[in-house]
A and B are shown apart, each in its own frame.
Chain A
């Protein structure tokens, strides 16, 4: 429980802290980069879970995360190509990537039920952090209507992912 709280706090700080510290709103090329990076991190987390977990519900959840986040990112890539926008690396993307690297290393050291618990707890915290960033910062800042619409579609999906992860967390404990 303490571990989970710490993980949640850490992620909220990693994502929210940077997001809210920046006075300037992120630009569309930065938003595209943040959204793609955030999706990719969850695809990689899912792939790690698919290698390590033997829990059927966790495996099924990880497959859904991999499939859904890939689908959104495929759309994001098609959109930036169409809009001729080059995604731009930025402080939020960097902090997301750094946070994910640490989380992946932590999860790599765990096995069995301990891994399942930590993976799902992180999925809850991660989706929560990404969803607040989308609702509070990224969607209001997006200038292009198609980018905004894609982010909104993503938020609807990720809120369900968060609820799904929260339900799983309650069954694994």
Chain B
């Protein structure tokens, strides 16, 4: 009985450890994959403070560069980078090396 209780207590503590940090973090993460010379998805809605992870699956170097200048992410082939988007509003971005590659973030406050 005592063993069962203590096992339950340990499990509870573990669950708390596992879940508390996640549930207390308000920022969500969103992945944008680059493949075949495209940002996928090309348009994304998120909240200010959220994290965008750009993942470049192409064999070519790309960038994710905001037209407003608020971010300029260098993405060598087969790498990913995380950026916290702090400012609300619509942000158009593109790849400086391949200007036909375009994407958009719709950032809610």
Q: What is A's interface to B at a CB cutoff of 8 Å?
A: 60, 64, 67-68, 71-72, 75, 153, 156-157, 160, 163-164, 167
B8 close to A (CB within 8 Å): no
A164–B95 CA distance with the chains assembled, in angstroms: 12
Count how many chain B residues have C-beta atoms less than 8 Å from C-beta atoms of the other chain.
Answer: 12
Contact check, A64 vs B98: say whether CB atoms are below 8 A apart. yes
A60–B65 CA distance with the chains assembled, in angstroms: 15
Q: What is B's interface to A at a CB cutoff of 8 Å?
A: 36-37, 59-61, 77, 96-101
Contact check, B37 vs A67: say whether CB atoms are below 8 A apart. no
Contact check, A160 vs B101: say whether CB atoms are below 8 A apart. yes
Residues of chain A within 8 A of B98, CB atoms compared: 64, 157, 160, 164
**Main DSSP-derived SS at the B contact region:** loop
Shortest distance from the beta carbon of B34 to any chain A beta carbon, whole Å: 12
- Among B37, B60, B100, B101, the residue within 8 A (CB) of A71 is B60
Contact check, A67 vs B97: say whether CB atoms are below 8 A apart. yes
**Main DSSP-derived SS at the A contact region:** helix
Shortest distance from the beta carbon of A6 to any chain B beta carbon, whole Å: 28
Given contacts A64-B98, A156-B36, A164-B99, 16 further A-B contacts (CB under 8 A): A64-B97, A67-B97, A68-B60, A68-B97, A71-B59, A71-B60, A71-B61, A71-B77, A72-B59, A75-B59, A153-B59, A156-B37, A160-B37, A160-B101, A164-B100, A167-B99
Residues of chain A within 8 A of B77, CB atoms compared: 71
A153–B77 CA distance with the chains assembled, in angstroms: 14
- Of all chain A residues, which has the CB nearest B61? A67
A164–B96 CA distance with the chains assembled, in angstroms: 11
